[in-house]
Amino acid sequence: MYGFVVLAAISFILIFYFLNRIKTSNTNENVPVKEIVRLSLPMGVSNVIMYLLLSIDIFILKKYFGNQAVAHYSVALKIITILSMIILSATINISPKISELYNSKKFLELEALCRKTAKIIFSVNVVISVLLGLFIKQVLLFFGPEYLAIQNVFFVLLFSQLFCSVFGVVPVYLNMTERSRIFQKILLITLSINTALNCILIPLYGAMGAAIVFTSSVVFWNICVVIYVYKKDRIKLYFN
């Protein structure tokens, strides 16, 4: 974890340095480097927080239950990243469109886009989830018979990604509408809750405790973003 933080800090310093060295022409379309940093820094911090949300449970689990428990839990996490990649792929593709529609104040089109994307993501992930659920024993046996013990952990984690799928573009909406600082604050609150709950539940329930905390954290920050966006923009990010 420390290596990741150090590399992130070095990367930020280098990017800031080289951006300042870029010579730009005098046109109205130029964006000041400070403005780029102002908008992108909270996104970078949010990415670090996301990394911590995926790492703190691992460190605490290792402390109390050792490397074997971490290995089992990590496999369950890796499997559900299939669903995460679907969400990521879809949101990356429509991110520029979200920004364009928001800045053009075409809120009806924006809501339609967000809800349509959420419906597509959810539909695809439901199919994948059903297949994973049906063949999870075979998948876990590929890693070894001892991994069958994490079936219930897997299903808890699977629920977290299905829940994310309902809301589709939540991970990128605030970033693409120039409110990355709001998203950063929501994630910071989530990180605090996540750390506290991990310290309580992992010693008691092991990998299942970690999965419950992870899922609770995902549910919390997704709901926070959805409520905030609806109050501010009157846009529903979920489909129904």
Question: Residue ranges of the domains in the chain?
Answer: 2-233
pLDDT at 169 exceeding the cut of 80? yes
Quick one: which of 61, 85, 91, 90 has its CA closest to 73? 61
pLDDT at 60 exceeding the cut of 90? yes
From the number of C-beta atoms within 10 Å of its C-beta (0-12, 13-18, 19+), residue 156 rates as buried
Between CA 122 and CA 117 the distance in angstroms is: 9
Query: Helix, strand, or coil here: 29?
Result: coil
- Read off φ and ψ for residue 176, nearest 5 degrees: -85, -5
pLDDT at 21 exceeding the cut of 90? no
Q: What is the pTM of this model?
A: 0.82
Amino acid 175: pLDDT: 85
Radius of gyration of the chain (CA): 20
Between CA 166 and CA 87 the distance in angstroms is: 10
- Read off φ and ψ for residue 178, nearest 5 degrees: 60, 35
Q: What is the pLDDT of residues 29-41, one digit of tens each?
A: 565 556 555 556 6
Cα→Cα distances 103→84, 106, 123, 177, Å: 28, 8, 29, 8
From the number of C-beta atoms within 10 Å of its C-beta (0-12, 13-18, 19+), residue 111 rates as middle
Amino acid 25: pLDDT: 47
Amino acid 87: pLDDT: 86
